[in-house]
Amino acid sequence: MCRVVDLQQAVLAKNDACAHTLREDLAARGTALVNLLSSPGSGKTALLERELTLARSRQIPVAALTADLATENDAVRLARSQVPVKQVLTDGLCHLEAEMLGGHLHGWLPADTRLLFIENVGNLVCPASYDLGETLRVVLASVTEGEDKPLKYPTAFGLAHLVVVTKTDIADAVAFDEAEFRANVERINPGVEVVLTSARGGTGDGVLLDRALAARDGAPVHIPVMTRKSHHVHDVEDGRAGDAPDGEHTHAPHAHGGHPHPTGSDTVASSRS
């Protein structure tokens, strides 16, 4: 009998193969993919809108694809930046997968795109296991979510190339302990950069864009300890990072990668200067 874990590993292996192909295809056209992961309500749409608007003002060709279970709200907001934007409705699927993403990019992504931002489904569990062919994986957490967020979601934070803290304009009001948060990030993902931002206050404006452009142009990207020889760490969150021997995973698979998923429908909201 096929075990759930075997099926999950097969799903991830297929996704890895698709991600590898997508990464090569994007690199060949000079496009870097930035995968943004966070909990719902972290402020990633607001931050991304500012970064896209800034990119347009600098005449940097960028595009964004945003994924949600329902509504086109985020695409409408991001389209205000006047860069190409596409909404993908996942019809209940809690994450994007590489094959699905590639299908939505085909025939849509402008040829001159230097940076493609992917606003993944708001979820720090499922998306963490799926490589999308990204050059840069960014995990965001708002100051309202608590300093222990990295410890609660070690896979998401442990595989990040960059960690972004949002809503810092209200950090004092919610008694956010920056030092403790940074210590917890360091415990899970030693050496990863932590950037402070505020979409309302303007703190950190352009930092995400600058880091993405640098990665696109070949600057070294942080290599998480948790990555080891395998890109993926599966999703039973046990709070440990970097303890497994090379080539072994530190987490067991989460249960729902093995059942059939819908391919998702999409809506396009785009404009170009």
Average pLDDT over every residue of 74-96: 94
What pLDDT is recorded for position 231?
45
Residue 116 pLDDT greater than 80, yes or no: yes
CA distance 77 to 68: 13
* Lowest mean pLDDT across 27-36, 94-103, 159-168, 255-264: 255-264
Residue 165 pLDDT greater than 90, yes or no: yes
Q: Which two tokens stand for residue 130?
A: 């799926």
Which of 81, 36, 38, 87 lies closest to 60, judged by CA? 81
Q: How confident is the model at residue 93 (pLDDT cuts 50, 70, 90)?
A: confident
Q: Which parts of 106-253 fold into alpha helices (H)?
A: 149-152, 154-158, 178-188, 207-216
Tens of pLDDT, residues 46-66: 999 999 999 999 999 999 999
Tens of pLDDT, residues 22-50: 999 999 999 999 999 999 999 999 999 99
Distance of CA 77 to the CA centre of its chain: 18
The answer to whether 255 touches 236, Cβ cutoff 8 Å, is no
What pLDDT is recorded for position 2?
57
Residues contacting 37, CB < 8 A, separation 6+: 120, 123, 124, 127, 128, 137, 138, 139, 140, 156, 160
Residue 249 pLDDT greater than 90, yes or no: no
What pLDDT is recorded for position 26?
98
Which of 128, 36, 69, 126 lies closest to 265, judged by CA? 69
What pLDDT is recorded for position 237?
40
- The structure's pTM equals 0.84
Read off φ and ψ for residue 207, nearest 5 degrees.
Answer: -65, -45
CA distance 241 to 149: 14
The answer to whether 65 touches 104, Cβ cutoff 8 Å, is yes
pLDDT, the chain, mean: 86
Each as own residue / partner, the long-range contacts of residues 147-151 (CB below 8 Å, 24 or more positions apart, any chain) are: 147/176, 147/177, 147/180, 147/181, 147/184, 148/184, 149/39, 149/124, 149/181, 149/184, 150/181, 150/184, 150/185, 150/187, 150/188, 150/189, 151/184, 151/187, 151/188, 151/239
Q: Which parts of the chain fold into alpha helices (H)?
A: 4-28, 44-57, 73-79, 98-105, 149-152, 154-158, 178-188, 207-216
Residue 133 gets which letter from DSSP? Answer: S
In the block, residue with structure tokens 């056209």:
29
More confident residue, 22 or 7: 22
Helix orientation angle between 44-57 and 207-216, rounded to the nearest 10 degrees: 70
In whole angstroms, how large is the CA radius of gyration of the chain?
Answer: 18
CA distance 159 to 241: 10
CA distance 73 to 71: 6
Which of 183, 30, 194, 38 lies closest to 116, judged by CA? 30
Average pLDDT over every residue of 103-113: 96
